[in-house]
Structure 1
Amino acid sequence: MTRALAMISGGLDSILAAKLIKDQGIEVIGICFKSYFFNESNAKRMVKQIDVPLKVIDISKEHFEMVKNPKHGYGKNMNPCIDCHAMMMKYCSKLLKEYNADFIVTGEVVGQRPMSQNKASLNLVKKESGIGEKILRPLCAKNLEPTEMELKGLVDREKLLDISGRNRKVQMELAEKWGIVDYPSPAGGCKLTEPNYARRLEELLKFNDNISKRELEMLKLGRHFRVSRNAKIISTRTALEAEELKKYITKEDIIFLARDFKGSMSVIIGKPTKEDIEFAAKITGRYSKGKDEKNLYIKYGNYSNELNNIIKINPAKDEEINRYIIK
């Protein structure tokens, strides 16, 4: 029986591509990659709707090393899509033997993304991956030259599609036809495509090349302020965000709370100076319910200890916020 490995990103296109191939009587195994910047949660939901098994592969460390210096550069933000796709293809090429599969399926559509899904980029990914002619893109196959799988009769080319461009009308019609109702927006689940996260990561890389997983997770939360080369402040927006941030705080970190008012929790990580600690207190006051008070008392201390230290401050002014905030 013909067997295919379908790269499942968690978006609609990849699941439709897998479904198209499965409906030709071909056995399909889903392959999902996870890293520090995207995970398998959407993919797990999606494969259940077409009854396809899913294998999750963690490429976090290798992927992050590539993100630091991608051969083919970045997209609009810090997303190195060409290098990322090529890396995933290389992994899939090794899995072909392991699963005794005949080819790889992707959900790519010609012209859908200007950098990574034009014909030149698709060919470049194929070349960089070293996978040869084993890649099938069912959603746009009729816009491309016939693949080895079509020429050998493993796949019926007439049952493949000719989607192109950014309009997703055809995909949404197919989803409705096949009863696929639970799918995410086309914006994607990769944090590297998000401008705010990308700017924070770019800034962090300027000061630290040995970044930990917890630092990458913390980039997703709160407001970030660079106060010195060795210290950074994170100020939470909500109570839920504060609880999430606590998952990544260590006993070396210092947290700040307004003594007499509710509001933001701040944390300073790194090796802060006395001036850095004072500014963290001012940030905490600025985002507390007492932000309009002339003077505030801020309590602080190392996480998991009593906040026995008290400092009297004036809440940070807008010009101070704008000077240090990482936008």
Structure 2
Amino acid sequence: MVNKPKAILLYSGGLYSTLALHILTSQGIDVTALTFITPFYNYDRESKAFKNILETVNRLKCRLKVVSLEEEYLSILKSPKYGYGRAANPCVDCRILMMKHAKRVMEEEEADFIATGEVLGQRPFSKTVERLETIDREAGVEGLVLRPLSAKLLSETIPEKKGLVRREGLFDIRGRSRRVQLELARKFGITGYPPPAGGCLLTEKAFGKRFEDLKRYNPNFSLKDAILLKFGRHLRLDDKTKIIIGRNKSENEQLVKHVSPEDIIFEILDYKGPVGLYYGTLDDSLLKKAASIIISYSKAPKNFPVKVKFYNRLGFEKIVESGAISMDEVHLLLIK
């Protein structure tokens, strides 16, 4: 019995990587789907998107391997060798990191090659021929990465040369149009895939503004600092002071979940309102300004003073009395 060729597919659950999965399995290739979870993806193991990944992998009788990227990701986020895209996205460095992990998994599983759902020209920053070659070279996987959707536009890979993959069964898709991909999706019976914008928050301009602010005023930021950019409204009070205010119950819970013992939480006494986090100088005027802002976002009366409690888990506590300020004043402080 001849052993099937084995591939490690970088699998996000999106349309393009799902098409790559179908193309490979239709050629009789044994696929292990490799899914990465980063702090900035819109899914985790409990999300609907992740459950869709499990469902697809099980339906096609493939294996799934999940790798979580956290501290490694922080180092490239702070200082990416190949820079950022339009927002806070270090796409090239991120891809190199993922490819290095894919290489390790390929060696562990004794697979023949790596595959991705990448399309040439899909992203101006990271999907050029030169960038793809750079990624493969930096990760030490030159010639071993098959990109089925654009393979006919790229140099022949080792698995193609060895006859492990039929090149005539691959494609020559280029650019941002999804016409051919949607036709292939219909052919393979693929439905329920996520929208084309992707799941990485780092590509969003609003998130990028918050990240620029964090990097400027706190260059030694921690992974927790970066994760908190995902939640709430962020307002800068001065060069050393920033506050975060939850927009709903879920965000309030996330803010409290991510605080360290020394982090200062603030919330309104006696009235319903959001949770806030306070980072910076414990100056009375700044505390009063933070109190005024959270009151403005609450159900508390706006025409007389309201008490706001500032505290942390190390025993710090201070009650500040203040009144609301206008939303025009608040909007001037928003990081957006």
Partner of residue 296 from structure 1, selected from 291, 305, 311? 305
Map 1:130-149; keep pairs closer than 5 Å. 130-149=140-159
Alignment of 1:22-171 (within 5 A): 22-38=25-41, 41=45, 42=49, 45-49=52-56, 50-171=60-181
Instruction: Go from structure 1 to structure 2 and tell me whether the alpha carbon gap of 1:72 and 1:92 turns closer, same or farther (over 3 Å shift).
Output: same
Matched, 1:241 2:248: no
Note if contact 1:15-1:46 (Cα within 8 Å) is conserved in structure 2. no
Identify which range, 293-302 or 189-198, moves more after superposition: 293-302
Q: 2:289 aligns with which of 279, 283, 291?
A: 279
- The answer to whether the 8 Å contact 2:307/2:320 transfers is yes
Give the CA deviation at 1:310: 4.2
**Deviation string, structure 1 residues 169-194 (Cα, Å, up to 9, x no partner):** 22223233333323211111111111
The aligned counterpart of 1:4 is: 7
State the 1:207 CA deviation: 2.5
Would you say 1:313 and 2:332 are equivalent positions? Answer: no
What is the 5 A alignment of 1:149-228?
149-228=159-238
Asked whether the 8 Å contact 1:30–1:55 carries over to 2, the reply is yes
In structure 2, the CA distance between the partners of 1:43 and 1:262, relative to structure 1 (3 Å rule), is: closer
- Structure 2 residues not aligned, in runs of 5+: none
Could you tell which deviates more after superposition, 306-315 or 104-113? 306-315
SS in 2 for 1:246: helix
Partner of 1:326: 335
Is contact 2:269-2:309 (8 Å) kept?
A: no
2 CA distance for matches of 1:88 and 1:301?
41
Q: Percent identity?
A: 39
Give the match for residue 266 of structure 1: 276
On the 8 A contact 1:253/1:270 being kept in 2, the answer is: no
The aligned amino acid for 2:198 is G
SS of residue matched to 1:4:
strand
Instruction: Give unpaired runs (5+ residues) of structure 1.
Output: none
Conservation of the 8 A alpha-carbon contact between 2:97 and 2:139? yes
Query: Are the aligned partners of 1:258 and 1:296 in contact in 2 as well (CA < 8 Å)?
Result: no
Q: Distance in 2 between matches of 1:87 and 1:217?
A: 19
Q: Distance in 2 between matches of 1:154 and 1:136?
A: 11
